[in-house]
Amino acid sequence: MRIIKSVAAMQRLARGWQRAGTRVGFVPTMGYLHAGHMSLVQRARRLTGRGGKVAVSIYVNPTQFGPQEDLSRYPRDFARDVRLCREAGVDVIFAPDNAQMYPGAGADKFSTFVSEGELSRSMEGQSRPTHFRGVTTVVAKLFNIVQPDVAVFGSKDYQQAAIVKRMARDLNFPLKIVVAPTVREADGLAMSSRNKYLTGDLRAQALVLWRSLQQARVAVREAARPIPAARLKAELKRLIECAPAARLDYAEFFDPVTLVPVSGVTRGTHLALAVFIGKTRLIDNTQL
């Protein structure tokens, strides 16, 4: 397994793979890897087939963090990430620094961005106004650097995956975007690097996200007619905020393709949650 830290070196390797006709799978990450990330690596390996290559990027992208968010605190353990990637059979880790990814002025004064203007308006886009501009910019840059045939994203970040798919389509990136299922702990909590912050009884309180998804699913499947979204949101807010450290940021019911909010919740509607557990903000989603 190779570890590459320069954009130029990664692009040289990618061009070599292209000349050789090698199929490349790519998993972009911010590191602090867990079993959820490894499931994406396994999916990328299956999609590239025999003789293919799998590349993983490890880069905590500053432009997708707001000024009051946890950029400096975001968990990092590069040595552990390398071990997990090696055990999973990753061929290349691309691990640039900010000077490589935002040359010249640096991330603070970077002036060229990629923005998606439709799917990014609601939910995370509303709660974190500059977040998706940072995501689409860095993902576009990574696609140009690694030049993969297929890139694999997790469905825990459902809106992000939808936006990346739209960006790849609209900007004619010659690759396929695959969205893999959310990987959960045995008790239902979605795996996330930020789960590291859940100390003491916060870990148990975080299960309120999973319970809320389940309650909404049961309610919809038992209902004879569409449930008013406002009523179901109020019920979920009461359930979530029964946990002492929990505060609902948003609960949104929406069409799974257009991401447009719906007023009546039925089978097939998608639900996304963002909840603060103490100072830690967690997201989750499901199709009802």
Active site members? 37
Helices (H) and strands (E) in the chain, counts: 10, 11
Distance CA(94)–CA(92), nearest Å, equals: 6
The answer to whether the CB of 23 falls within 8 A of the CB of 156 is no
What are the C-alpha distances in Å from 165 to residues 152, 168, 171, 177? 11, 5, 10, 6
Question: What separation, in Å, do the N-terminal and C-terminal C-alpha atoms of the chain show?
Answer: 41
Contacts of 97 (CB under 8 A, 6+ apart): 5
Calculate helix-pair angle for 158-170, 131-146, nearest 10 degrees.
60
